[in-house]
Structure 1
């Protein structure tokens, strides 16, 4: 294969050499070639190549300015031409010569941040007047009236909150107000594809400190009842032994208590505090004792062990210790981590569930001689979190973090030694929790990535460390410890002063006794869809105390890890084939807020354009170009959409602390004497089994109602109200699907999904079969396919919308995630079975047509049910 760039071996200069030669020529001043003349022949000073010793004596006493300018006309013209050519050819400034990852916005230019070879040029290009203006110098105001930098920043956070890494992100990324925060959307540089490659082959970090965190304290039995009444009944529940021991986190979804499958709120992560909370004795004092000169009151971290019921600990087959069965009335702590857009709803749901659980316990007579207390606290500003995805995230963490040497736990020592050679964090157990304490990462700055050792044998050795409560122990659960670490003891200038006194420059600082030791939590995170062929992404979630974001973030980013915003996080879920909240969860409050904001933004952008530069949706036949009309697709009365409440409003402030204890029934909408149920989403890991059981029955609605009641009974809920008919239940049900384009075309957001008649489906299948037989290119379409794509789809054949659509980099073709009614999905399955479409595949495909809202052609695509 010929080289991409010419290397100049054939004598022809490269483009880089041509550019250098052009700049050098533009900066060269022409010189006039003259012959030597005697002083007697001229009376003015002219060009000469021979000067005598007594030449100064022969200089004229007066100079004729006009004749002098004529004699120097060539030099003056050459100087003016050189200045003009040099300014015209120097179109690249010093900051533009840097690689993209080193460029910054104009407000953050610093000459010391460029290489040495470009510093003089950058210093010459800086405008001194602008530099003074950027220095925020206000000469008219006195020093007493000037606001401090901290006060200015606090004044700018009146209507939103900043993350601790806001300044770093604001200099390099596009920022927007979202969910009550000022968050980074995407980098200013071109980084869409590099960010995807980093998540697949390297590592990418995202500051997820804006996620809400709620803490519940109380008896274990009551906490289980609270969580099980709110969480999804499909799969393992929050009260299972796998979750309650505290060695693994649980990914679930929160509903209004007792309302499943209606009133979906948000995805959530459940983290239980390990049952064996006291840490093993070490020679190191606790963090709280190091931070305070006076003695702290005894806390749960340093209290003596509680006497527990049972036979003690047992050894399992793998050699790990299994904790003894705890007292169901023993006090426990659990964290609920959810999306910030639904914090108020999740908080109110937990309050309602707590009231119901305490009322049921009181009615059952359990609390006759004892009063139970449930404490629900908001921890949104007490901890910070970073999501590090990619196969190299293990080496990044291994190189940036330095665990304290006093931690002698065998489980952690084994885990930390195996972390370097891990090919991916997916080799660990899903949701595995690791708790440990690290030294101040600024002491080791700059860090270096750990390098994985090559495998000496032909087979890959699997890690042997299993999740255990002993491995998950951490002092970050203690509020006293977190408050003591809210402000680092030493500033960066103090550490730099210590570093300047080192005998060998560049060596890391040794951790002293008075230096901070920070407890952290490391949680395994996977973005994957078990029922799809998409590529799964694995990584870690690092949870640190508040006040330490920049200390850890600087060390993590210095290792070469890319930094992503909201767009990169959405792309990870899209490439992995999973739904992303809130844009892929219709019928939820978070989706309504997102859809309303997008509708206003798209409509305003469309109105700003002249008619000749914007699509005519009326002529294109797009019924609803700004938002998906799910009511029309489901055949329900189209209700006017109301502007939802702003994200970030606390529900506990709206209801003034009043919590209802009544279970709400499904909302029914009356229209002309008929009652319709509001749209709801059928989702979860058991959806394929539910659909398979429904399709076997003559009445699918009755089968759906039976499956839903079976899941409700799993959590101890009563069956759905008898007034709710099975036909109304299935008629209002939506199901998430994955849209895969057969050949050309990439669906956009709000692309329309159409059903296909039997005759047209046969023609599409025949055309694609002939195209595959002729080994045509994927990007080319046969004349028969082009003819079918030009057919105008009827408005009555709309069966759904694409909520997230794009060109999939992992699959190399267009893909999307959308939703269609359950009845339409069953109709597509019957059509595929009736026409025997593509019987060679294991999964029978469901053929549909997809058209973008601003396009005319309809491209063939297959849909499959999205699990999870």
Structure 2
């Protein structure tokens, strides 16, 4: 296992039980960090900038500007060995494109060639049901140009990027499977050797292009080379416009030679010819045939880039010798920083743009970061600093679950939710008894008293046959990805499910996006109910509320009555009176006597893991987990248009809100 790099002696005592990011000192002056005695995933991670950033983060991520994160805490595992052995190992942990039967398609072939990346879920080998670990990104190193005879014995290299909370679980599984391969696969821990920076927002590509200057050798390449293609992407406002899983490998120069950065001159795209040129670049994508082996896979290249960087004093000397107003000229001995750029697409139907991930050696992250944060943008300002909270916010607004918080059925997600539950319980205990919610005396209507489960946590055991108060550790649950959940819903009513699949269905959780159909804002730990099955009267009340909300929305969109002036004639006043009489009946407001009560605990469907007011949609939304078995029970009854309607009740409150859930 690789150890954290040793820093200056005056900083060593501060890293006894944690490691620092390459940009720790920059963040410590501008952001709220994790407490010194409570590191997150064994590292000191910035949580949020000290300035107010909720609305500015929404604008920078979706409308104007860019936002950047130091993602060097992400873990990287390197695999090297014969191609056949590596593919067998990857197929064992859930990579479908590594299997022989599914590796013939164009997407899989590009991934195996090394010009595309794969994103998906990995699981442990041989478990029933499948024990999913975490989502990961996997990409190959391109073959050498001299390799004309490609066989399964050809030595290849692969990198696997995964969240640090699931690193040890994947490391142990990969190490075990590598010893079973013949020939053997070598596994390498690349933490603290490869760092990364992530960018999001319409101006993210512009900031990235202004920071990554090609090295002297790359600047002389042909127009279709990866470095030249990268320099022409400044006008791209959404990384989703690039091919799925696009990768660009290049070598860049020391950004300190071009500091302070200047606004990048972008090609104007107002003319039809310029727009067509950019469209041809994105559709033809010459990088697929011009991409060479990525220097980032070479240990020697990573070592040289990190240890041959000149001192700041040498940089200042070269800048003083340059002509006024010009950057120092590139020379043959300048260090080359191996860089790999990954473009990821946004979620389907989301409001945010795609993201750009820059992979580079660990010791080269800091100079690139400083140049990036001071890069002027054409829309004004500089890229914004992002922390863990801003990353969760953009995931939430785009309707994308955030790992590990929104996946409580995984070991990493269970640990995160247990940690957050403990913090909420401690905050609740510190409040005086007169100023905190007494969950035991909560009135849920119809003579029911007390909250369902603990008010500061999500009782997942209640969804899988457990009794109230039974924790998730007592009643294990399994994560079910969206494609498996859809297959289970299609197989409802048939006998095609295997014993292992039925076991996973009985205790499986699926991740969903919840959209409120009426007013209200869902919060974390909110309870999600299905429409009542046993109480027909209560079910009819909720369905009538649903029909009233639809009718009111339809009437509001079509029949807008303008206000009348004071001197309006009598016949117009009568016409307006008649129109008001034809309006749909008023909906009962939350808290009124006619508002329906929440269903019984037997109708519990799941819990909310994160909710708030969504600035992108202008309404309350949430991300939660629902019990797959209870969803399949609804599928058997064939509820039609009411199949995905649910009721969301915030913890500590007795009022429910109608919502619609969708698998994500």
Q: TM-score range by the shorter chain?
A: 0.7 to 0.9
Counting only pairs closer than 5 Å after superposition, residues 610-621 of structure 1 correspond to structure 2 as 610-620=432-442, 621=450
Distance 1:459 1:166, change over 3 A: closer
Of 415, 422, 438, which aligns to 1:600? 422
Residues in 2 aligned to 1:691 and 1:518: alpha-carbon distance in whole angstroms: 48
Task: Tell me the equivalent position of 2:390.
Answer: 568
The alignment partner of 1:624 has SS state of coil
Matched, 1:802 2:608: yes
Distance 1:380 1:818, change over 3 A: same
Residues in 2 aligned to 1:354 and 1:847: alpha-carbon distance in whole angstroms: 46
Matched, 1:545 2:364: no
Matched, 1:334 2:158: yes
Deviation of the 1:398 alpha carbon: 1.6
Residues in 2 aligned to 1:404 and 1:397: alpha-carbon distance in whole angstroms: 15
Task: Tell me the equivalent position of 1:111.
Answer: none
Of 160, 167, 170, which aligns to 2:28? 170
Matched, 1:186 2:48: yes
Residues in 1 aligned to 2:288 and 2:178: alpha-carbon distance in whole angstroms: 29
Distance 1:378 1:798, change over 3 A: same
Deviation of the 1:189 alpha carbon: 0.5
Matched, 1:744 2:519: yes
Deviation of the 1:827 alpha carbon: 3.7
Checking the alignment, whether the CA contact within 8 Å between 1:234 and 1:684 is kept in structure 2 is no
Distance 1:725 1:501, change over 3 A: closer
Deviation of the 1:783 alpha carbon: 4.6
Residues in 2 aligned to 1:864 and 1:789: alpha-carbon distance in whole angstroms: 25
Matched, 1:269 2:84: no
Residues in 2 aligned to 1:613 and 1:847: alpha-carbon distance in whole angstroms: 34
Deviation of the 1:816 alpha carbon: 0.8
Of 70, 74, 77, which aligns to 1:211? 74
Task: Tell me the equivalent position of 1:734.
Answer: 509
Of 378, 390, 394, which aligns to 2:189? 378
Residues in 1 aligned to 2:181 and 2:547: alpha-carbon distance in whole angstroms: 60
Residues in 2 aligned to 1:380 and 1:154: alpha-carbon distance in whole angstroms: 19
Residues in 2 aligned to 1:234 and 1:641: alpha-carbon distance in whole angstroms: 37
Checking the alignment, whether the CA contact within 8 Å between 1:215 and 1:379 is kept in structure 2 is yes
Checking the alignment, whether the CA contact within 8 Å between 1:790 and 1:856 is kept in structure 2 is no
Task: Tell me the equivalent position of 1:350.
Answer: 174
Matched, 1:487 2:307: yes
Residues in 1 aligned to 2:371 and 2:84: alpha-carbon distance in whole angstroms: 42
Task: Tell me the equivalent position of 1:257.
Answer: 125
Checking the alignment, whether the CA contact within 8 Å between 2:269 and 2:275 is kept in structure 1 is no
Checking the alignment, whether the CA contact within 8 Å between 2:227 and 2:249 is kept in structure 1 is no
Deviation of the 1:751 alpha carbon: 0.7
Task: Tell me the equivalent position of 1:756.
Answer: 531
Task: Tell me the equivalent position of 1:103.
Answer: none
Deviation of the 1:855 alpha carbon: 2.2
Deviation of the 1:344 alpha carbon: 0.9
Task: Tell me the equivalent position of 1:693.
Answer: 490
**Larger RCO: Structure 1 or Structure 2 (Cα < 8 Å, ≥ 6 residues apart)?**
2
TM normalised by structure 1 equals 0.64
Distance 1:823 1:234, change over 3 A: farther
Residues in 2 aligned to 1:472 and 1:853: alpha-carbon distance in whole angstroms: 55
Task: Tell me the equivalent position of 1:152.
Answer: 10
Deviation of the 1:704 alpha carbon: 3.6
Deviation of the 1:377 alpha carbon: 0.7
Deviation of the 1:353 alpha carbon: 1.8
Task: Tell me the equivalent position of 1:456.
Answer: 271
Runs of 5+ in structure 2 lacking a partner?
1-5, 376-381, 443-449, 533-538, 560-584
Residues in 1 aligned to 2:154 and 2:363: alpha-carbon distance in whole angstroms: 32
Residues in 2 aligned to 1:797 and 1:159: alpha-carbon distance in whole angstroms: 45
Of 547, 553, 558, which aligns to 2:374? 558
The alignment partner of 1:547 has SS state of helix
Matched, 1:500 2:500: no
Distance 1:606 1:678, change over 3 A: closer
Checking the alignment, whether the CA contact within 8 Å between 2:216 and 2:332 is kept in structure 1 is no
The alignment partner of 1:746 has SS state of coil
Deviation of the 1:578 alpha carbon: 1.6
Deviates more, 1:616-625 or 1:385-394: 616-625
Deviation of the 1:152 alpha carbon: 2.0
Deviation of the 1:219 alpha carbon: 0.4
Of 200, 208, 221, which aligns to 2:84? 221
Matched, 1:200 2:62: yes
Checking the alignment, whether the CA contact within 8 Å between 2:85 and 2:184 is kept in structure 1 is no
The alignment partner of 2:345 has SS state of strand
Matched, 1:471 2:285: no
Runs of 5+ in structure 1 lacking a partner?
1-147, 279-304, 310-325, 359-371, 644-668, 670-676, 706-723, 838-843
Distance 1:335 1:726, change over 3 A: closer
Distance 1:813 1:458, change over 3 A: farther
Residues in 2 aligned to 1:416 and 1:735: alpha-carbon distance in whole angstroms: 38
Deviation of the 1:346 alpha carbon: 0.5
Task: Tell me the equivalent position of 1:520.
Answer: 339
Residues in 2 aligned to 1:493 and 1:443: alpha-carbon distance in whole angstroms: 12
Task: Tell me the equivalent position of 2:447.
Answer: none
Task: Tell me the equivalent position of 1:4.
Answer: none
Deviation of the 1:639 alpha carbon: 8.9
Of 434, 447, 452, which aligns to 2:248? 434
Of 591, 594, 606, which aligns to 2:413? 591
Deviation of the 1:791 alpha carbon: 2.0
Q: Deviations over 1:780-823 (max 9, x none)?
A: x9452434556244222221101111111111100011111223
Q: Deviations over 1:750-802 (max 9, x none)?
A: 1100122332332222321343255299xxx9452434556244222221101
Q: Deviations over 1:96-155 (max 9, x none)?
A: xxxxxxxxxxxxxxxxxxxxxxxxxxxxxxxxxxxxxxxxxxxxxxxxxxxx99212111
Deviation of the 1:391 alpha carbon: 2.1
Q: Deviations over 1:448-472 (max 9, x none)?
A: 2323413212994212324426325
Distance 1:186 1:555, change over 3 A: same
Distance 1:261 1:247, change over 3 A: farther
The alignment partner of 2:139 has SS state of strand
Counting only pairs closer than 5 Å after superposition, residues 783-862 of structure 1 correspond to structure 2 as 783-786=587-590, 787=592, 789=595, 791-829=597-635, 833-834=638-639, 837=641, 846-862=644-660
Residues in 2 aligned to 1:642 and 1:182: alpha-carbon distance in whole angstroms: 28
The alignment partner of 2:290 has SS state of coil
Residues in 1 aligned to 2:310 and 2:480: alpha-carbon distance in whole angstroms: 52
Checking the alignment, whether the CA contact within 8 Å between 1:261 and 1:682 is kept in structure 2 is no
Residues in 2 aligned to 1:608 and 1:335: alpha-carbon distance in whole angstroms: 46
Residues in 1 aligned to 2:332 and 2:504: alpha-carbon distance in whole angstroms: 64
Of 539, 552, 559, which aligns to 1:771? 552
Deviates more, 1:592-601 or 1:485-494: 485-494
Of 115, 133, 142, which aligns to 1:247? 115
Residues in 1 aligned to 2:190 and 2:97: alpha-carbon distance in whole angstroms: 28
The alignment partner of 1:178 has SS state of coil
Name the Cα RMSD after superposition: 2.7
The alignment partner of 2:341 has SS state of strand
Checking the alignment, whether the CA contact within 8 Å between 1:767 and 1:785 is kept in structure 2 is no
Distance 1:727 1:405, change over 3 A: closer
Residues in 2 aligned to 1:607 and 1:337: alpha-carbon distance in whole angstroms: 39
Q: Deviations over 1:630-675 (max 9, x none)?
A: 12112146796599xxxxxxxxxxxxxxxxxxxxxxxxx9xxxxxx
The alignment partner of 2:15 has SS state of coil
Distance 1:181 1:602, change over 3 A: same
Checking the alignment, whether the CA contact within 8 Å between 1:230 and 1:254 is kept in structure 2 is yes
Checking the alignment, whether the CA contact within 8 Å between 2:352 and 2:394 is kept in structure 1 is no
The number of residues matched between the two structures is: 592
Deviation of the 1:262 alpha carbon: 2.3
Task: Tell me the equivalent position of 2:461.
Answer: 631
Checking the alignment, whether the CA contact within 8 Å between 1:789 and 1:859 is kept in structure 2 is no
Checking the alignment, whether the CA contact within 8 Å between 1:488 and 1:547 is kept in structure 2 is no
